[in-house]
Amino acid sequence: MSDATTGPGADRLASRFPTAYTILFLLIVLVGALTWIIPAGKFDRVESEAVGREIAVAGTYKTVEANPQGLIDILMAPIAGFYDPVSYSANAIDVALFVIILGGFLGVVNATGAIDTGIRRAMARLKGREIWMIPILMSLFALGGTTYGMAEETLAFYGLLIPVMIAAGYDAVTGAAIILLGAGIGTLGSTINPFATVIASNAAGVAFTDGLALRLVLLIGGLAICIAYVMRYAMRVRRDPSLSRVADLAADHRAAFAGGSATGEGATLTGTQSLVLVIFGLTFAALIWGVSSQGWWMAEMSTMFFASAIVVGLIGRLGEKGLTGAFITGSRDLLGVALVIGLARGIVVVMEQGLIADTILNAAAGAVSGLSELAFINLLYWIEVGMSFFVPSSSGLAVLSMPILAPLSDFAGVDRSLAVTAYQSANGLVNLINPTFAVVIGGLAIARVPYERWLAFVWPLLLILTLFIMAALSVATFL
């Protein structure tokens, strides 16, 4: 049994489908073309103490002098994407540098042989119970997503988790799904996430606890759907590896992630390797602690991985040349991931510099005016879906759209908290596949899962989640 992404046709499809770099650059060109078509316009903005940044003022939209983006602007966009924070996002260069240093850290750890040996030992002990790693890990990632919007931090976990999934008899798609869908469904069903729920609620003028019950329904129900979907896929792949979405890449993945071995036989950890694994585990524990309670961001996380790489190199007795060589090799492996982050941000840069974001928002506000409750909330959801492709940042989309769209819910008789839920669920859903979201493209690049294979894997799940979300929003309008 095979389909378009497995078996003999897979190589032909992969050769025809453009790479992530081409897809992102074509999107930059498309958005640049739109700046010549869509009229330029802007809302007035004021500093909001509640939100902590400038927000748009409803009813103040006006057309301004156009600033269409030409060839030079389009060519500069990927470069500007690294360091231009536009109006509501951090510099992508921080994330790119983090990825490069993370690659160096993983390269040093891999050079000690500790991960490969440790995974084979773990699989020998877990034999017959490997499938339960999926719900446990997805629930943990969802917890990070719903509480603090876990996103860029997940990039550190691909190199840790995917070798485990491959050694367990699954595939790289399973590992990527655990991370992307786990953290993603947590963000979709955000409860106290300060970068989505809190900012959006403040911008909408409501308490972030309003609508919490519905968000819990979306979180728990969505997580259950995602876990069932991934477990079903993983069990099918283990029974018949030819059903994997990346079956033709299996040998490459085993060589890259699992040292070419997927068994626990003959695996003996040395004392040095055991100590390396302890340092490895403590590094990731420190990552979670620092981000969740100490306000760490990319600079602090990069420093931690850099320091850990040195410690691992010294413990593993790699020597000066061995340590630096392994670090550079590991960094080189993730260089493509770092480059794709600037490309993804370049799309937002072109849209902002072309002054079309507010025009699109103003048109959306006009589209939902005067609708019934049910029509309003569902159309609002789809408007946020469309805008999320161009503004993947949850905080950025909240600041851009909520001050304008949330007040319109008053006229439709819809609670503003429901508008906030529609925004965050739409943004969370789109960011499971969004090519303009560096976390998606970067994560898949680390996992070595082609973008089109991910789409083929996830589209039925997106359909199920969409129906679930729209049903939940519709029912909530009558409660």
State which of 355-359, 451-455, 463-467 shows the largest mean pLDDT.
463-467
Q: Tell me: the pLDDT tens digits for 11-42?
A: 444 446 677 778 888 888 999 999 999 999 99
With cut-offs at 50, 70 and 90, classify the pLDDT of residue 52.
low
Does 6 score more than 70 pLDDT? no
Mean pLDDT of the chain: 85
Q: Tell me: the pLDDT tens digits for 247-290?
A: 999 888 888 886 544 444 445 778 888 899 899 889 888 887 88
Q: What is the pLDDT of residue 284?
A: 82
Percent of the chain with pLDDT over 90: 37
The pTM (predicted TM-score) of the whole model is 0.78
Q: Which of 327, 255, 323 is nearest to 104 (CA)?
A: 327
Q: What is the pLDDT of residue 3?
A: 43
